[in-house]
Amino acid sequence: MEFFVKSGNPEKQRVGCVVVGIFDRRTLSSAATLVDDNSDNLISSVMRRGDLDGRLGQTMILQRPGGLFADRVLLVGCGKEREFDDVAFKKANAAAARALSNTGTIEAVNYLTELRVKGRDTAWKVKQALLSSREIFYRFDECKGNKEEKGKKALQRLTFAVSSRVELPVAEKSLIEAVAIAEGMDLAKNLGNLPGNICTPTYLADKAISLAKTYSTLQTRILEEADMEKLGMGSLLSVSRGSRQPAKFIIMEHMAGPKDAKPIVLVGKGLTFDAGGISLKPAAAMDEMKYDMCGGASVFGAMQTILELNLPINVVGIVPSSENLPDGDANKPGDIVKSMAGITIEILNTDAEGRLILCDALTYVEKNYDSDVVIDMATLTGACVIALGSHATGLFSNHDRLAKALLNAGNISGDRAWQLPLWDEYDQQLKSPFADVANIGGREAGAITAASFLHRFTKKLRWAHLDIAGTAWNSGKNKGSTGRPVPLLTEYLISRANSQD
């Protein structure tokens, strides 16, 4: 599908459908008023008859409106005008996209981007309208033998309207960014949704190699288990020992920024299936542990976006990838392993494996890069899901400015994070009588003790950790990857690119 921006009045559009907003209590938006004025009050009479009142998310299609050039008008309820905020804006756009995909229209012009949203400019509205629409159009059918038939005539061109020509350049720039973000999210979602028997560490490594073939700025390197052995990644390798799939350590470098600029390093947990190991997980919903590589997937997604935009920044993406399965050679509770940092770890629960692969990845980063900041993403703890639910990602950082920048990127993109503390009291819970550190810290504050564990390996870095266990995928009826935290990451990276020139 193609996306455009334009300025111009709705009654003049020669397209399959124009999309206009209606507020609660039957208030017409200015685009709706123009349609109404030119169509012999078509909209106000429909509303007067009580068929539509403007509740948020309500939609109605009016066919062959007289006096217009368009074949249809799609009315979209936007709720109370005073309450039309970020969330309402996205909901209205999602409702519009859903309604459009149920029509035969090939081309539509959406005027919701002209509505006023408090504190948000045209660039933001275009970006969010695009992302909300792409969210609705996303399908994962790679594994269906019998592909669902695409509707007779699917929407091919969607244009977002801006209220004046002056705004077109910003809107266009924002649209290009938004499409690249949507592509990055789709990649992250696809990788997440793929089953564990297809999306293995080797599959992810091959994906990184193929990305480097597509984008000339990308340098990909894959470390094999033998390489990791030489580097002393005893913690990471201990997880992979219980699996027949070889672990891969994936390195992607996009060094398109100034030569002397220190790179931003993204590290993503790439556990392609987490059965828990000898500390086996219960059977219920265990299939969802194919999503335990969503941190890694978000690194791929963010890389894809910055590669597509060819952002002039230095970014390194690192994805340590493995499975966690029970096996005769798997980690056992009580085992002690030595990490690349030289810190010994007592593995009291083999299901706390994410931190075991991440600690070696973080040490690798510390030893091999003079990094500006390091951000890791991981579906790390069930405890984070209990603390924050599926709405916010857990954020931990040893650097206030980085934490603020990431929280801000989350607020702008709507992919929000919430900061939790890294106090020493929590770190105390990780004491082990036999090794330097234990890999679990007891029942209390599980998300924080997991982050504290990682913090032991990042003392020399400006570092942030995003626990995305609650936000990376949806369970239940709408099971599927969300693509989070690609919006947050790309917002941060784009703003970094903008602030340097």
Task: Report the alpha-carbon distance of residue 205 to residue 23 in Å, rounded.
Answer: 49
274 counts as binding Zn ion under rule CB under 5 A: yes
Q: Which residues pair with 345 in a beta bridge?
A: 337, 437
- Nearer Cβ to ligand BES, position 162 or 451? 451
With contacts defined by CB under 6 A, name the span among 166-174, 202-210, 237-245, 373-381 that binds ligand BES.
Answer: 373-381
Do you know the residue count of the chain? 501
Residue 114, contacted partner among Zn ion, Mn ion, ligand BES, none, CB below 5-8 A by kind: none
Asked if residue 390 binds ligand BES (CB under 6 A), the reply is no
If the CB atoms of residues 278 and 407 are measured against Zn ion, the closer one turns out to be 278
- Strands, E, within 218-304: which ranges? 218-223, 248-255, 264-268, 270-274
CA pseudo-torsion sign 331, 335, 340, 341: positive
In angstroms, give the least distance from the CB of 351 to Mn ion. 4
Cβ atoms within 10 Å, residue 68? 22
**Identity of the amino acid at 364:** Y
Q: Segment 442-501, which members bind ligand BES (CB under 6 A)?
A: 446, 469
Alpha-carbon gap, residue 215 to 192, rounded angstroms: 22
Question: What span, in angstroms and rounded, lies between the C-alpha atoms of 315 and 1?
Answer: 29
The entry of ligand BES, Zn ion, Mn ion, none near residue 469 (CB within 5 to 8 angstroms by kind) is: ligand BES
Kindly indicate which of the ranges 85-93, 243-251, 348-356, 417-425 contains the residues binding ligand BES, using the contact rule CB under 6 A: 348-356
The neighbour count for residue 45, using CB atoms within 10 Å, is: 12
440 makes contact with ligand BES (CB under 6 A): yes
The active-site residue, picked from 127, 189, 355, 416, is 355
446 binds, among Mn ion, ligand BES, Zn ion, none (CB under 5 to 8 A by kind): ligand BES
Q: Is 196 in the site for ligand BES (CB under 6 A)?
A: no
Hunting for tokens 């931003």 — which residue is that? Answer: 264
φ, ψ dihedrals at 58, nearest 5°: -65, 140
Rounded to whole angstroms, how far apart are CA atoms 199 and 128?
A: 30
Q: Determine if 347 is a binding residue for ligand BES (CB under 6 A).
A: no
Q: Which stretch binds ligand BES (CB under 6 A): 14-22, 86-94, 380-388, 395-403?
A: 380-388
Active site residue 416: no
Among 351, 360, 372, 491, binds Mn ion (CB under 5 A): 351
Nearest approach, Cβ of residue 379 and Mn ion (Å): 9
- Work out how close the CB of 334 gets to Mn ion at its nearest, in angstroms, rounded to a whole number: 17
Euclidean distance between CA atoms 481 and 478, whole angstroms: 9
Question: Strand, coil or helix: what is 3?
Answer: strand
Question: Cα(first)–Cα(last) distance of the chain, in Å?
Answer: 32
- Shortest Å, Cβ 389 to Mn ion: 20
Q: How far apart are CA 181 and CA 58, in angstroms?
A: 27
For the segment 343-402, give every residue that binds Zn ion (CB under 5 A). Answer: 354
Q: Mark whether 207 is an active-site residue.
A: no
Q: Enumerate binding residues for Mn ion (CB under 5 A).
A: 274, 351, 353
Active-site annotation, residues: 281, 355
Residues at the interface with ligand BES (CB under 6 A): 274, 292, 349, 351-354, 379-383, 385, 440, 446, 469
